Structure 1
Amino acid sequence: MTQQGTITVERLDGSAAAQVEDAFRRVYAEAFAEPPYNETADDVAATFRRFRSQTRKGTFRAVLARAEDGEPVGMAYGYPLGPNTGWWDQLTEPVPHDMRREDGRRTFGLMEVAVRGPWREQGIARRLHETLLDGLDAERVLLNVHPDSGAASAAYRAWGYRKVGEARPWEGADLHDVMVLNLR
């Protein structure tokens, strides 16, 4: 099933994203309930506890795609990584010091990109990604992707990301590919 019609993509700061948390939660819960993620209601609740904290960062940015009737169909969000980020510490093999050096501006951490099933394969994820990164003053973007998510991995590679390592992003998580997109 595919959905037709106009899709709008709106960029939001943290406070605006927090006000429409339910829309982000709906997209996330539906997209990540599927394999290989198989996230439960408890997993979604934990993600949105973090989301609330993340939206309070002054550098947080998000995008939300909606159908003509206002229904949320896709989302993406993230923020620049601070000097004390633990992201690089999660890698199974260390990377060179220069790669892991962060200053709060160098690397944008792309936390989530998701599109609900009926709206996939219409270029919405690419639009979300491009809108989120538009005007970003960073050297690169960093993300984790489940290697069994073939469509997501393929999209990231097509957009110019390259794998730099593997990590377990949280306790008990499957191994994820860590990918970087150089913006300059």
Structure 2
Amino acid sequence: MARTTHQLIHGPEAATFLDAFLPAYEEVYAEPPYQEGPREVAEFIERFQRQAHRPGFRLVLAREGDEVVGFAFGYRLQADTTWWNGLLTPLPQELTRETGERTFAVIELAVRKPWRRRGIAGAIHTRLLDGLGVQRVTLTMRPEPEAAPAQRAYQAWGYVKVGRSRPWDEAPVYDAMVLELR
């Protein structure tokens, strides 16, 4: 078994790495419950190119040799974020207020099927959050039972469900999770 390495890329430079991890994205998100096809992949590409320019953007690529086996990325939520607007039950303002330095949002974290259950997701997550200097981390994810393995992993890493969210009109309902760092 080859050794897994992790590469951390900051800011807009991350956009130049899209071709490196896009095959992994396509593979992972073709699986249930996502079942993404060409239209969704094209939307992802467009969204990623924009997200890479957000303040505090980070991308982590996990590789075995030259092959990307997993990835994660996210960015800091700015004061004018709409991140919390999709909550089905609004949270108190003290929980949803953002400053640009308070919260890092994990947008994607994925590991290709042959490399799952080896601790690679946990290592990617740790590298993504290393040295962030924020108070907390948030993410949205599919609820159980759809995403039971991911739910168990995030809970083991300390995330707590704070609500349910529909981030855009056609989106499925996600669990909104928060990990307090300090």
Q: TM-score range by the shorter chain?
A: over 0.9
Count of residue pairs brought into register by the alignment:
180
Which residue type is aligned with residue 37 of structure 1? Y
Gaps of 5+ in 2: none
Residue 123 (structure 2) pairs with residue 117 (structure 1)? no
TM-score (norm 1): 0.95
Seen in structure 2, the aligned counterparts of structure 1 residues 57 and 133 have a Cα distance that, compared at 3 Å, is same
Which residue type is aligned with residue 181 of structure 1? L
- Between the aligned partners of 2:60 and 2:121, the Cα distance in structure 1 is 10
Q: Which residue of 1 aligns with 2:48?
A: 51
- Between the aligned partners of 2:166 and 2:22, the Cα distance in structure 1 is 23
Q: Which residue of 1 aligns with 2:92?
A: 96
Gaps of 5+ in 1: none
- Between the aligned partners of 1:64 and 1:27, the Cα distance in structure 2 is 10
- Between the aligned partners of 2:178 and 2:28, the Cα distance in structure 1 is 23
1:43 match: secondary structure: helix
Give me the CA root mean square deviation: 1.0
Residue 28 (structure 2) pairs with residue 31 (structure 1)? yes
TM-score (norm 2): 0.96
Q: Which residue of 2 aligns with 1:145?
A: 141
Taking every aligned residue pair, what percent have the same amino acid on both sides? 47
Deviation of 1:37 (Å): 1.1
Runs of 4+ in 1 over 4 A off after TM superposition: none
Deviation of 1:169 (Å): 2.1
2:23 match: secondary structure: helix
